[in-house]
Amino acid sequence: MHRDAVMMAGRSEDDGDTSILTATKPKTKRPPLYKVLLLNDDFTPMEFVVHVLERFFGLNHAQAFEIMLTVHKKGVAVVGVFSHEIAETKVAQVMDFARRHQHPLQCTMEKED
Ligand code: TYC
């Protein structure tokens, strides 16, 4: 005879539980990422924007010039993707640096989908 049938016949272990077992996957949620955006304006000098991108985003001159031109032509560009804390720091650094040099350059952050 099958062992389960033997066990049930003797009622040695079946406690009559009819509950549904719901398996739960252990969720390791990674923190959300944030895009840092640079906005175009008519007054901030191109060289200043290139300098900002080199200084605060670790881009080389060619990469910085390319992104500056994208912002100049399209109005906005993503300059990097970071954790919330790092993105906030980058935005604050750019905004403070622009303000100190009296340029209207705007930098913002936006949660990634
Ligand atoms: N449009 C500016 C100019 O013609 C250059 C510029 C580029 C300004 C990018 C801001 O985020 C910017 N001087």
Domain presence at residue 55: yes
Q: How many separate domains does the chain show?
A: 1
Q: Determine whether the shortest distance from the Cβ of 67 to ligand 1 is under 6 A.
A: no
- Above 60 in pLDDT, residue 10? no
| CA–centroid distance, residue 32 to ligand 1 (Å) | 29
Confidence of residue 22 (pLDDT cuts 50, 70, 90): confident
pLDDT in tens, 78-94: 999 999 999 999 999 99
Q: Whose CA is nearest to atom 2 of ligand 1?
A: 42
Domain range for 62: 42-111
Rounded to two decimals, what is the model's pTM? 0.80
CATH number at residue 63: 3.30.1390.10
Domain presence at residue 1: no
Q: Determine whether the shortest distance from the Cβ of 53 to ligand 1 is under 6 A.
A: no
Ligand 1 atom at minimal distance to the Cα of residue 39? 11
Task: Note every long-range contact of 69-76, with CB atoms under 8 Å and residues 24 or more positions apart, other chains counting.
Answer: 71/38, 71/39, 71/40, 72/40, 72/46, 74/40, 75/39, 75/40, 76/37, 76/38, 76/39, 76/40
